[in-house]
Every structure is written in C-alpha cells, then in structure tokens.
A and B are shown apart, each in its own frame.
Chain A
Amino acid sequence: MLEYLPPLNNHNLPYPDTIHPIVVHFVIAMVLFAVACDVIGYFSKNARLYEVSWWNMAFATVSIFVAIIFGQIEAGLAEPYPAAVSDLNLHTLLGWSLSAIIATITGWRYIIRIRTPEKLPIAYLGIDGVLTAIVLVQIYLGDKLVWIYGLHSEPVVEAIRGGAL
C-alpha cells in the first residue's frame, strides 16, 4: 500500500514544501482582520465593516479545517525530537479546539448579522478579544515548531535520518 504513495523528500514530505503554514495565512489574517474591522466598525459606527468582518470570519471558518488536514499530515510526518514533542501536542490540541471555537463564533455572528446587521453586541467584541488571544498563542506555538525546532527543515530532517537527533 505504501509503495503507491509518493516518496518522501528532504523535508520528509511527499510534496515539495510544507503546506500547513500557507493555509494558516487564511485563518490568521482573516481572524485578525475581522477583529480589527469589528473594533473600527464599532467605534466609527460603520456597519459596512461588520459585513467585511463577517465574510472574513466565514472564510477563516472554512480555511481552518483545511489547515487542520494539512497540519495533521505534516505533524504525522514531523518525527519531532524530544524537545519539540510537547509544543507539537499543544499546537495540535489548540488547533482542533480553534476549529470549534471559530466555527461557533462564526455561527453566532451569522445570527447577529441576520437579526441586527447594523449593531454588534459588546459581548461579541469581548469574544473577539478572547479569540485574538488564543490565535496569538497558536501562532506562537506554530512559530516555535518551525523557527525554533525546525521541524521539516532540511538540516533537522537530515540529522534525524542520520540518527544525530
């Protein structure tokens, strides 16, 4: 069965470069921009920005599931060395949790948008703040996996294959 899959390259991947860090563009950028639009829209009383926020959240909701699929594939092939294991586990746990969190918030937003498109409850802005904090923690963990532990980078994959790590 395994012989039908493409061989793994120097990044320990069946395709040229990691895809998860690309797909997360559409979660990170869209969530943070949606929150920025809510805040600016709230204080400038510009309901048009609420629409921009909603569509960005809707896009983020679809994207996070794609991000998780590639994240799981690439986590499965990461072969984390001991120092990297706990951060990878936490990133995985928080990633799955974020899919539920973002989907729920977007669901709430869908209802708000239908009932009072020109008004945003202050509680929603509070949730925006919590969401931003969780997303920033998740970015921090993902950054550590790539930029500190170097998972899927050629030198680390080489060291793991050579038994040095």
Chain B
Amino acid sequence: MTSFLPIFIAETGSNGLPYRLPIHPNLVHLTLGLFIVAIAFDLVGAFFPLEKPVFKFLAIPATRANLFDVGWYNMVAAAGITFLTVAAGFYEIITADIPRDAVSSWGLGAMETMIWHGLGGVLILALIVGMTVWRGFQRFVWRQDRSLQVQWTYLLAGLAIFVLMFAQGTLGAHLGGEFGLHVTADQMLRYGSDPNTL
C-alpha cells in the first residue's frame, strides 16, 4: 500500500476512508454547479436584449438585474463552498491507496494524476475566489449604474475556467473510475474479495 499517510488516519473501511462514501466528489457537484450557472446567467444577462422575445414567448417575466443577481449570488456561494471541496479533497488524497503500475486513458499514472488534480484544485479555488472579487467590484463599484453589469473579459475568463474545470474533472474521474481510489468494490477486487459480499 502506497499512501501519503498510512498511520495517522482513523480506522478505515475497505474504501480506505473512515466513512462509507467519499465527501469530496459530493462537494464538487456544488462547486461546479454553482460556478457554471453563475457564468451562464451572467451570459444570459449580457445577451438579454436578444432573449426578450424568448422570455415573452415562454410567459416568464424576466429582468436583466435579476439575471445578474443569480450571476453574483451563485458565484459567492461557489467561492464559499469550494474551500470545503478542496479541504475534503486533500483529506481524501492523503488517505488514498495509490496503485503503482496502472495508467489512465490520458497516459498518466495514479500519482501523477493525483498531483495534477491536487494542484488544479488549488488553482481553481484561487480562480473562483478571484472571479468572485472581480464580480463584486463590477457589481458594487465599477458598473453599479450600468445595465450591463459584467465585463466581456469576465465572461471570457469564466469560459476559460470551464475548460480548466473539464480537465480537472476528467482527472478526478480517472482517480475514481480508472484507478478505483476510494471505490469500495474496486478496492475489494484489488485485494481479491467479491463485491457481492458487501
């Protein structure tokens, strides 16, 4: 067993964790959902004049300011929750039982995948916090009186971060789905027991 911290962890189950289900992948739902929807609503707000007939056709009353509210509050929530996502991620890194020989479909070993995913996580956390601060300045200082609350560069930066998130997410998917880290059945198979005896 190769682990960063084999001794100082609580007693673990066959998934290598002191609890039944990993926490990090669940918090990831919140980080990604909130961030992506924040940028999406700012985009909808930015193109609002074009969408007016669509909202009218759907009989959904919509104002531009409300769409930008979603862009702001969802981004704030993404920034807050992502500290927990990263913290849980690091705990589940140090408790992972890392296979030495396997290679992912991106040609990376488990340790390399994990290091990139760990670094990527810290980078994306910093970017989300930075985007939130940037968004706050646009909302409350620079563009307080403008009907277009966000800058085009902010939206482009958001789209660029989507690309990073795709790479980060795929690395994370490889850790669980290919190397089987913290997957109970995969760990059981690796050590020769039958997942049907769960």
A residues with a Cβ closer than 8 A to B are 9-11, 16-18, 21-22, 24-26, 28-30, 32-33, 36-37, 48-49, 51-52, 55-56, 58-59, 81-83, 110, 113-114, 139-140, 143-144, 146-150, 152-156, 159, 164-165
Contacts and interface: CB of A to CB of B under 8 A. Distances in A.
A25 B33 contact: yes
Contacts of B180: 150, 153-155
Contact of A24 (B22, B29, B182, B190): B29
A148 B69 contact: no
Task: State the main secondary structure of chain A at its contact with B.
Answer: helix
Contact of B73 (A37, A58, A165): A37
Contact of B196 (A33, A81, A146): A81
A118 B67 CA distance: 17
Nearest to A158: B189
Contacts, number: 140
A16 B74 CA distance: 29
Contacts of B69: 48, 51-52
Task: State the main secondary structure of chain B at its contact with A.
Answer: helix
B195 A154 contact: no
Contacts of B37: 26, 29-30, 56, 59
Given A16-B105, A22-B169, A52-B69, A153 B34 contact: no
B198 interface: yes
A11 B25 contact: no
Contacts of B77: 33, 36
